[in-house]
């Protein structure tokens, strides 16, 4: 089915090409004639010629009119050949043939006669170009043309719009055109009926038109516009809320990713790993390194960085566990200090070996750009990917904890180390594996962070305190707690930011957590169990 359709499209395309070639010769004389007319007739007559060109159906017509309106259509004095000026700075201008599109190199500007144009014509052409676009066979082209029209409809175009709307097949294009026309009607005509059309619109031009109408002397119009504006404000508020939520969730998933490894190591071993931030940094640098190894393929490098980042950080984690942490069993405060020392060393290592400056990690094409939900709300893709990635990592960890032998042992050791040991669980092995897992997840967080923030030696430092806050807020050792805490803190931060500013918002979140700890010293989801005495 799909293939046969593809074939038929190809066939059509071939036929069209063939037709184009056979007519080329004929058309070119026709085209030369039209352009000559444009160049030689008076301003009054030019309008008609412009319309003729537009209706000629020539594919190049758009280009001609565009360059004409921007003073770039010209004629070579000697040959009468029409050219389009590409670069008009300096004495020699770079030009191409208007008919064949062939680049003709540089030409002295003295040899060139620009086809003259005036503002009335420009306006006319703008409308005509829109019409050309609106007649384009490609729906996407029509849609973007229709959207561009909002707020820039001119009198002549407005007359033609109703018929175009009727002829339009696509609902969305039709809607956009109707709105464009309504904006024109409200703005220029003070049409009360058109106000209703704009009532739900999120377009800024539509709002501008309504605002103008609200100040109108026509009481009826002003009232209708005020009503419409109110409904728009309502909708905008919702959209802004959605946007804040999106930013909040995106920040939240970053926090969650950064913190969840910490939650695991802290929960299982009671160990504060101050070098956790630097393990995140290692993950980010792994991404950068991968992209250096695979130049030109940032996407592939990024995907390969996911396992690589995990591995690098996990190995670093094992090294830290074996060299430092295992010697400090049962001395959590000393562990905190020692791992802080490790974090200083790792930071300085990166500064010395790589560079103290930030490195650029390329965002692959498929991750850049944004998804437009409506005219007031578009979601940036990279953040969307990070949210998705965070959720996948979370689900993965959940699976490991719930479904694997390691998870079972980890949970056993978390709840009662002595008992687990006496049941034959090798607590040391569990410690190493847990630490590797927690560190590896930090590496994953680094890979994700490399897409939304600067990769530099201080990357880890800037996340470590936030991560701790998330863990403390969520409750040590609770994955769900970490998820909820990350998302909550992210959202609170984003909610506060607009009216408090970024720094103050952060301070408020920190103070909030400090106060929260007073009420629930063990976080949102405290580890439960029969209280051990002591």
Contact between 357 and another protein by CB under 8 A: the answer reads no
Would you say 232 or 464 has its CB closer to another protein? 464
Contact with another protein (CB under 8 A): which of 291, 343, 491, 494? 343
Contact between 513 and another protein by CB under 8 A: the answer reads yes
Q: How far apart are CA 9 and CA 22, in angstroms?
A: 20
**DSSP of 421-463:** HHTT--HHHHHHHHHHHHHHHHHHHHHHHTTTS-BSTTHHHHH
Q: Which of residues 226-265 bind another protein (CB under 8 A)?
A: none
How many residues in the shown chain lie near another protein by CB under 8 A? 52
Q: Provide the β-strand partners of residue 103.
A: 96
Q: Which residues contact 161 (CB under 8 A, 6 or more apart)?
A: 153, 177, 180, 181, 184
Contact between 422 and another protein by CB under 8 A: the answer reads no
Select from 159-167, 310-318, 432-440, 462-470 the region that touches another protein (CB under 8 A): 462-470
Q: Cβ 481 to another protein, closest distance in Å?
A: 14
Contact with another protein (CB under 8 A): which of 112, 202, 208, 344? 344
Q: How far is CA 172 from CA 80, 205, 232, in A?
A: 45, 18, 19
Contact between 313 and another protein by CB under 8 A: the answer reads no
Q: Is the dihedral of CA 467, 469, 470, 475 positive or negative?
A: positive
Would you say 324 or 387 has its CB closer to another protein? 324
Q: Identify the H or E element spanning 226.
A: helix 219-269
N- to C-terminal Cα distance for the chain?
74
Contact between 532 and another protein by CB under 8 A: the answer reads yes
Would you say 169 or 518 has its CB closer to another protein? 518
Query: β-pairing, 370-374 with 112-114?
Result: unpaired
Contact with another protein (CB under 8 A): which of 107, 315, 336, 373? 336
Contact between 345 and another protein by CB under 8 A: the answer reads yes
Would you say 181 or 476 has its CB closer to another protein? 476
**DSSP of 132-168:** HHHT-S-HHHHHHHHHHHTT---HHHHHHHHHHHHH-
Q: What angle do CA 368, 253, 452 make, to 5 degrees?
A: 35
Using an 8 Å Cβ cutoff, are 294 and 304 in contact?
A: yes
**CB burial class (10 A; 0-12, 13-18, 19+) of residue 68?**
buried
Q: What angle do CA 375, 203, 188 make, to 5 degrees?
A: 160
Q: How far apart are CA 399 and CA 460, in angstroms?
A: 27
Contact with another protein (CB under 8 A): which of 327, 402, 403, 426? 327
Site string for another protein, 378-417 (x = CB under 8 A): --------------------------------------xx
Contact with another protein (CB under 8 A): which of 101, 155, 332, 369? 332
Q: Cβ 332 to another protein, closest distance in Å?
A: 5
Would you say 296 or 534 has its CB closer to another protein? 534
Contact with another protein (CB under 8 A): which of 199, 301, 472, 485? 472
Contact between 2 and another protein by CB under 8 A: the answer reads no
Q: Cβ 341 to another protein, closest distance in Å?
A: 2
Using an 8 Å Cβ cutoff, are 450 and 287 in contact?
A: yes
Contact with another protein (CB under 8 A): which of 53, 469, 489, 496? 469
Q: Which residues here bind another protein, judged by CB under 8 A? A: 270, 272, 324, 327-328, 330-338, 340-345, 347-349, 351-352, 416-418, 465, 468-469, 472, 503-504, 506-507, 510-511, 513-515, 517-519, 521, 528-534
């Amino acid at each position: 089915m799909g293939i046969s359709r593809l074939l038929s499209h190809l066939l059509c395309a071939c036929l069209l090409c063939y037709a184009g070639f056979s007519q080329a010769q004929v058309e070119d004389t026709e085209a030369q004639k039209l352009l000559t007319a444009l160049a030689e007739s008076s301003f009054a007559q030019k309008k008609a010629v412009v319309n003729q060109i537009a209706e000629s159906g020539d594919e190049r017509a758009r280009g001609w009119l565009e360059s004409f309106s921007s003073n770039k259509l010209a004629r070579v004095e000697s040959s009468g050949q029409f050219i389009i000026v590409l670069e008009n700075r300096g004495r020699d201008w770079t030009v191409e043939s208007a008919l064949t599109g062939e680049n003709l190199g540089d030409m002295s500007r003295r040899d060139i006669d620009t086809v003259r144009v005036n503002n009335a014509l420009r306006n006319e052409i703008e409308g005509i170009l829109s019409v050309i676009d609106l007649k384009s066979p490609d729906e996407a082209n029509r849609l973007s043309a229709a959207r561009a029209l909002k707020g820039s409809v001119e009198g002549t175009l407005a007359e033609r719009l109703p018929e175009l709307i009727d002829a339009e097949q696509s609902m969305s294009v039709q809607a956009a055109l109707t709105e464009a026309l309504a904006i024109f009607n409200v703005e220029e005509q003070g049409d009360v009926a058109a106000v209703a059309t704009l009532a739900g619109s999120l377009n800024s031009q539509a709002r501008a038109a309504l605002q103008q109408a609200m100040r109108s002397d026509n009481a009826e119009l002003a009232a209708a516009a005020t009503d419409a504006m109110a409904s728009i404000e309502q909708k905008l508020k919702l959209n802004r809320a959605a946007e804040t939520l999106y930013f909040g969730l995106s920040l939240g998933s970053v926090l969650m990713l950064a913190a969840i490894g910490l939650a695991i190591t802290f929960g299982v071993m009671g160990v504060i790993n101050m070098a956790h931030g630097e393990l995140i940094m290692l993950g980010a640098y792994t991404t950068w390194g991968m992209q250096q190894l695979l130049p030109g393929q940032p996407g592939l490098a990024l995907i390969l960085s996911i396992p690589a980042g995990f591995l690098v950080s996990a190995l670093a984690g094992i090294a830290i566990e074996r060299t430092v942490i295992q010697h400090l069993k049962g001395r959590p405060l000393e562990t905190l200090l020692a791992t802080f020392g490790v974090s200083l060393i790792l930071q300085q290592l990166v500064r010395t070996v790589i560079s103290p400056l930030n490195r650029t990690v390329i965002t692959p094409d498929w991750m850049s750009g944004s998804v437009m939900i409506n005219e007031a709300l578009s979601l940036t893709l990279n953040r969307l990917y990070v949210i998705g990635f965070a959720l996948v990592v979370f689900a993965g960890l959940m699976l490991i904890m719930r479904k694997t032998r390691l998870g079972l042992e980890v949970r056993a050791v978390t709840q009662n180390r002595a008992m687990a040991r006496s049941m034959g669980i090798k607590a040391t092995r569990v410690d190493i594996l847990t630490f590797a897992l927690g560190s590896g997840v930090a590496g994953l967080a680094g890979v994700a962070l490399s897409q939304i923030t600067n990769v530099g030696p201080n990357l880890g430092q800037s996340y470590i305190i936030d991560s701790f806050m998330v863990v403390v807020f969520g409750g040590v050792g609770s994955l769900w707690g970490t998820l909820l805490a990350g998302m909550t803190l992210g959202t609170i931060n984003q909610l506060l930011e607009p009216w408090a500013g970024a720094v103050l918002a952060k301070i408020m979140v920190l103070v909030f957590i400090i106060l929260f700890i007073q009420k629930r010293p063990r976080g949102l989801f405290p580890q439960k169990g029969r209280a051990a005495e002591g």
